[in-house]
Amino acid sequence: MPEGHTVHRLAHAFAELFGGHRLAVSSPQGRFTDGAALLDGRALVGTEAHGKQLFLAFAGPDRHAFAGPDRHRPAALGTADGSDTATVEAEPRWLRVHLGLYGSWTFDGDESFRAPHAIGAPRRRVAEEEVAVRQAGVPVAGDWSPPAPRGAVRVRLLGEHGVADLTGPTACEVVTAQEKAAVQGRLGPDPLRSDGDPEAFVRAVRTTRRPVGELLMDQAVLAGVGNIYRAEALYRARLHPRRAGRDVPAARLRAMWADLRELMADGVATGRIVTTRPEHRNHLGEAGDVALVPDDDDRWYVYHRSGRPCLVCGTKVSEAEMAGRRVFWCPRCQRAPRA
């Protein structure tokens, strides 16, 4: 399942590709026809991610100033004095998407449309590789036409220069601002959001005896962390996943929040989750020194490394099931809580 950094990448990608643009919205598969009709012909006026939820705001054809994250607002659409008072429909309609385990966005477009090829459920290993769409082709302005939908496309967003197709989501619906707020109200703080409150995370963890490894996966406690960030954040904090939430000192939780924010921001920037420090990586670079770019073998400390030596102490990594997913830890670096 994509973790929060992927959803934030999507929010940025949609802002850059379609921000302020009027879109043709359809449901080639037919399962979202009514929802698509509510958005068709409207302009994308905002994008937002909260944990694993993606929200895209659409406003009527007469109002299409873009009000997404500031740095993604197309300059041409800003207000003359640069203030934040661009005209935005008071009540945009929001498309809410949760990719779940199988959902995926696929992009295509002309030479001006630089997008990830696909984001979401892995389609071989290229799922998150950035590609310049049609870079290899001969660029001819105005020559692009959208490809036929491939697979069961729930929703297609079509702009002048490109298209985004959504397949296999867990959730895809049109919601009001109020309904969106209700969804967000059930989510815990997101380390990648500027309004993410670490103290809310600390409180939620410290008021329960549930194991911290379970709490990190609970989207009501912390939004956006998935199985890889869970295992790796626990390792980096030297916390055993079975440690009871209320037994974890607040200072360690605040440090873990800060660590996650940094790791996840790096994930947003690069599209990859890398949690190891260069000095802990096994393989050597071409010059024989420590490789700066980790390979699949040493980009994580414990995730999917059961039975293999810990990159720091050499002890074999353990695994167990927790919150329905496999969790991994080093029995020496992460001491088990006393029974």
CB of 278 to Zn ion, least distance (A): 17
Residue 122, amino acid: P
Question: Which tokens is 239 given?
Answer: 């916390």
Distance CA 221, CA 41 (A): 37
- For position 333 contacting Zn ion by CB under 5 A, the verdict is yes
- For position 54 contacting Zn ion by CB under 5 A, the verdict is no
- CB 43, CB 302: distance < 8 Å: no
Residue 244, phi then psi, degrees to nearest 5 = -65, 140
Of the listed 210, 272, 325, 332, which one is catalytic?
325
- For position 313 contacting Zn ion by CB under 5 A, the verdict is yes
Q: Give yes or no: 325 in active site.
A: yes
Distances (CA, A) of 37 to 6, 133, 155, 161, 243: 27, 28, 11, 21, 49
Closest to Zn ion by CB, 118 or 317 = 317
Closest to Zn ion by CB, 317 or 322 = 317
Q: Give yes or no: 52 in active site.
A: yes
The stretch near Zn ion (CB under 5 A) out of 27-35, 171-179, 267-275, 327-335 is 327-335
Residue 68, amino acid: G
Distances (CA, A) of 69 to 66, 72, 253, 289: 9, 6, 28, 40
For residue 111, with 0-12 CB atoms within 10 Å meaning exposed, 13-18 middle and 19 or more buried, which class applies?
middle
CB of 235 to Zn ion, least distance (A): 8
Closest to Zn ion by CB, 200 or 312 = 312
- For position 237 contacting Zn ion by CB under 5 A, the verdict is no
Reduced to 3 states, what is the DSSP secondary structure of residue 204?
Answer: helix
Of the listed 9, 52, 243, 305, which one is catalytic?
52
Of the listed 3, 48, 89, 232, which one is catalytic?
3
Q: Give yes or no: 338 in active site.
A: no
The stretch near Zn ion (CB under 5 A) out of 17-25, 44-52, 94-102, 305-313 is 305-313
Q: Give yes or no: 279 in active site.
A: no
Task: Describe the crossing of helices 227-236 and 250-270 by its angle, rounded to 10 degrees.
Answer: 130
CB of 254 to Zn ion, least distance (A): 23
- For position 231 contacting Zn ion by CB under 5 A, the verdict is no
Residue 284, amino acid: L
- For position 311 contacting Zn ion by CB under 5 A, the verdict is no
- CB 24, CB 210: distance < 8 Å: no
Reduced to 3 states, what is the DSSP secondary structure of residue 304?
Answer: coil
CB of 184 to Zn ion, least distance (A): 37
> Whose CB is nearest to Zn ion?
310
| Number of helical H runs and strand E runs in the chain | 7, 11
CB of 272 to Zn ion, least distance (A): 23
Single residue of 38, 114, 332, 337 touching Zn ion by CB under 5 A: 332
Single residue of 39, 216, 222, 310 touching Zn ion by CB under 5 A: 310
Which residues of this protein are in contact with Zn ion, per CB under 5 A? Answer: 310, 312-313, 315, 330, 332-333
Q: Catalogue the active-site residues.
A: 2-3, 52, 325
